[in-house]
Every structure is written in structure tokens, then in C-alpha cells.
Amino acid sequence: MAVYVDAAIWKHEGLLWCHMLADDLAELHRFATHLGLKLSSYQGPPKTSAPHYDITGFERDRAVRLGAVECSREEIVAVFRRVKVPNGKAMR
């Protein structure tokens, strides 16, 4: 299992942001907690179809140091499709 981050290119509130996804929902939450994120910042069904966290570029750098896999846009889209929750059901 792995945790993935794309490039921090999305501008919001003066910061650059990216996505953090994982192969497993428990792993995603465990990594987010280790990174110091609040579970309330989690985004998933029914709000979005793929469980993820939006993280800042600073958090991304720390995530990579902690073992997150850096992904290109194409790679993160492939991960998104792989972990997408059909009809908002719980991730396996």
C-alpha cells in the first residue's frame, strides 16, 4: 500500500495545494494523522468520488519526506480512478 501526492500547483488563499490519495482508506487517514492533518479536512463521498486530502505544498514536502510517492498529473489521475468509490460506497 502507498500514499500518493501530485504537484502543488493549485492556488488557493495565497498557497499552492495538491492532492493526497492512498490505496487504502485506513492508510490514508493514518498517514494524514502522522502528517498532523485534522481528519475534518478529509474529502470523500458523497462530496467527492475519491477519498483524499487537499494539502499545501509545505505539507506535501513533509509527506514526501515521510514516504509519500510523488506522482505526475497522469499518475495521480490513475490513482484517483483506482480508488474512486462507485456510487459513494465505502472504499474497500
**Spatial separation of the C-alpha atoms in residues 40 and 53, rounded to whole Å:** 10
**Spatial separation of the C-alpha atoms in residues 84 and 92, rounded to whole Å:** 10
pLDDT at 33: 96
pTM for this model (two decimals): 0.88
Q: Where are the domains positioned within the chain?
A: 3-79
pLDDT at 46: 81
Phi, psi of 27 (to 5 degrees): -65, -40
Percent of the chain at pLDDT > 70 equals: 93
